[in-house]
Structure 1
Amino acid sequence: MTISPPAGTAEPARAASSLTISEQGAFWVGVGRKPTEAGTAAEAAMYVQYQIPADLRYPLPVVMVHGGGGQGTDYLSTPDGRPGWATRFLQAGYAVYVVDRPGHGRSPYHPDVLGPLEGAAPTYEFIRWLFCDGAGRPGSQWPGSGQIGDDSALDQLMASQGPALPTFTENEEQMRRCGAELLDRIGPAVLITHSMGGPFGWLVADARPGLVKAIIAVEPIGPPFTELPGFGRLDWGLTAAPITYEPPVRDPQELRTRLRAAGADGVQDCLVQDEPVRSLPNLKGFPIAVVVADTSPFAPSGHGVADYLAQAGADAELLRLPEMGITGNGHLPMGEKNSDEVAEALMAWLGKQPAAVEEDAR
């Protein structure tokens, strides 16, 4: 299968080239069985679509994990209709797996399995604040006006939004279960996560030590121990679900914390562990990039995630897009006007990580 760019599209040289796919398909992982009053239902599973380029240059596949109430379409195309990061990584020579987390997109939500929906449906007002606040101002990378009723990109993004699972913990236990089964099936991989999908990386690496070779956490949920009304608290630091510490932690209240001063204007103080610090042993031994944009609501606290990881022994690096010469981005850099530029920067970082690019082909 050969995919060519739309006629008249002005894009970077890599984007302008055709793409030949040697193999593609889809499957679900984490399929269970749950008794209901009507009979046996399929337990929440995770949909996975994959494509392998004919010009496969890297032995490790990339798994792309969406956030919040989104779905895998966040990586397939931008809200204004350009090819998304999945295509860009394929063109660079990576096999790409794009997931719809349980209860999202093509992994349908059913209250008999996942519990009743709670809270209001996603609103234009909230999505506009989260993803395109500042749209229309000079330098903004949002590909529209940001005005409700006058922004087709915002309409497209809204159409993709669905309910989130009722609690952080339920979300994360489903991520752990399904993500572990995915890596059992495809083997070692690089994970790219976004926003509320960030714990997917931490928990799957914890569940399958050695199979996660790198994590790129784009605007991950945080800072550590944060609480969101209606969803719960990240009681285990970066996760709401239990994660392995050394020395072991039986109850998250055993994690003693202190407030670390940010030391810069416009950046908030965040919690880290108090001494003696416990390590996160299964998040060691591979590179982690925590990617933070400049106009996102997460911008003031993104460093807190990287600091917490590094303090616990992880090889974590904070990548602030403005410090890489990439400015004007909000909370959805894979969907903004300079999405290709951000993808190139992330691939450049990944290319510098030997563990992520030199793994022997399976």
Structure 2
Amino acid sequence: MPAPHVAGGYEITVRRGQFWVPGERVRTEYGTVQRAPLFVQWEAPPGEAHPVPLVLVHGGGGQGTDWTGTPDGRPGWATRFVEAGFAVYVVDRCGHGRSPYHPDVVGPMGAPFPYEAARALFLPDEVNDAQTQWTYGPEHLDQLLCPMGPLPADLAESQRLDADRLGRLLDIVGEAVLVTHSAGGPIGWLTADARPEKVVAITAIEPMGPAFAQFPGLGALTWGLTSTEITYDPPAGDPSEVTGRRIPALAGKPVAVVTGGASAFAAFAPQIVEFLAGAGARVRHLHLPDFGITGNGHGLIFEANSDETVKPVVDWILATIR
């Protein structure tokens, strides 16, 4: 196998950079520190890009590298989006990756992400025969786990922080399409709530759900599809009042829910679609087998056929923004 620097596989662009969305300044016994900044890496085609950029929001204990590469070293979806003509902004959610975490400032950490949980989520034994696009060996499972860290123990506060920073990111970059994965899904709904005029559309890849689900050891989607409060109309003073109410920020908003054919998330995706439709979104379920793309599990953004799984998403976004 050739060394990574000679393997090739994607076009090198000349327009890329990075910055942070700062967190709040807080006083501690150590002095004044910053709480939960958000790291942003961006890349754009060498020439003119589509007028609406994409903001890529990773899931669970991952980081922005979920979008930039695959466990076997191929280019990730971020590169394929750039090749399709989009400018992309890839974030490390608060407390993940290059967004620093100190529990004295951000809050207590949840449990570390173990191999057993990774296998249960990304390659469960019960769908081994159907999940034909997980062709990786043990060394690739190591690569999958290396960037995964703990989530903040307070899931609602974690989502609130992420949505606040992403809203301020949109204040900088302007209108954008949000592309979320897994536990990044709630961040998409909350960011739209914070900046409805800046979110053109949302593509939710294997989003966390269904509505009001409980996740032992992690938290609950108390407010429907989010753990922290989101705006309903008429206003909901309590989570028990949410059902049947609209979310003004999602009214008429184009939303795609994308699922893999061998993923357990596909089973409850119709419930997510129904909830979003009831909230007012213009939602569509993009189930990959309907596009002739089979064998994918929850990690469809970095499985062996990731160059194929991205294509229906690119097509949907292009059709939406035109």
Give the alignment's TM-score, normalised by structure 2.
0.94
**CA–CA separation in structure 1 for the residues paired with 2:130 and 2:206:** 22
- Describe how 1:65-104 pairs up with structure 2 within 5 A: 65-104=57-96
1:302 to partner: Cα distance: 1.5
CA contact (8 A) 1:292 1:299 kept: yes
Query: Paired residue for 1:330?
Result: 297
Kept in 2, the 8 Å contact 1:71–1:105? The answer is: yes
Q: Does 1:126 align with 2:117?
A: yes
Alpha-carbon deviations, 1:311-333, whole Å to 9, x = none?
12110111111112111111111
1:110 corresponds to: 102
> Residues of 2 paired with 1:226 and 1:216: CA distance?
21
Equivalent in the alignment of 2:288: 321
Distance in 2, Cα, partners of 1:105 & 1:72:
7
> Could you tell me which amino acid in structure 2 is paired with residue 235 of structure 1?
T
Superposed counterparts of 1:207-222, under 5 Å? 207-222=194-209
Aligned residue in 1 for 2:273: 306
Q: Secondary structure at the match of 2:13?
A: strand
Q: CA RMSD in A?
A: 1.8
Percent identity for Structure 1 against Structure 2 = 48
TM-score (normalised: structure 1): 0.84
State the Cα distance separating 1:122 from its structure 2 match. 1.2
Provide the C-alpha distance between the structure 2 equivalents of 1:343 and 1:118, rounded to a whole number of angstroms.
Answer: 31
Partner residue in 2 for 1:206: 193
CA distance in 2, matches of 1:136, 1:69: 23
For 2:47 and 2:12, how far apart are their aligned partners in 1? 8
Name stretches of at least 5 consecutive residues in structure 2 with no aligned partner.
none
**In structure 2, distance between residues paired with 1:153 and 1:211:** 37
- Other-structure match for 1:227: 214
How many angstroms apart in 1 are the aligned matches of 2:179 and 2:309?
Answer: 13
Match of 1:19 in 2: 11
Whether the 8 Å contact between 2:130 and 2:262 is mirrored in structure 1 is no
Q: Which amino acid aligns with 2:245?
A: R
Task: Specify the SS of the correspondent of 2:266.
Answer: coil
- Aligned partner of residue 188 in structure 2, secondary structure: helix
AA of the residue aligned to 2:83: Q
Secondary structure, aligned partner of 1:81: coil
What's 1:264 paired with? Answer: none
Instruction: Name 1:258's counterpart in structure 2.
Output: none
Runs of 4+ in 1 over 4 A off after TM superposition: 5-9
Query: Helix, strand or coil for the counterpart of 1:160?
Result: coil
Asked if 2 retains the 8 angstrom alpha-carbon contact of 1:20 and 1:55, the reply is no
Match of 2:254 among 284, 287, 298: 287
Q: Distance between the aligned counterparts of 1:299 and 1:168, measured in 2?
A: 23
Describe the SS at the equivalent of 1:75: helix
Unaligned runs of 5+ in 1: 10-15, 146-150, 256-272
Q: Which has the higher helix share?
A: 2
Paired amino acid for 2:90: V
Q: Does the aligned pair in 1 maintain the 2:107–2:154 contact within 8 Å?
A: no
Residues 299-354 of structure 1, C-alpha deviations (whole Å, 9 max, x = no match) = 2112211110001211011111111211111111111011010111110111221x
Q: Does 1:237 align with 2:224?
A: yes
* Aligned residue pair count: 318
Structure with larger Rg = 1
Deviation at 1:136, TM superposition (A): 6.5
The DSSP-based 3-state class of the residue aligned with 2:204 is strand
Aligned: 1:58 with 2:25 = no
Q: Tell me, yes or no, if the aligned pair for 1:80 and 1:143 is still in contact at 8 Å.
A: no
CA distance, structure 1, for counterparts of residue 110 and residue 59 of structure 2: 18
The SS at the match of 1:154 is helix
8 Å CA contact 1:34–1:40 kept in 2: the answer is yes
* Cα distance between partner residues in 2 of 1:133 and 1:139: 9
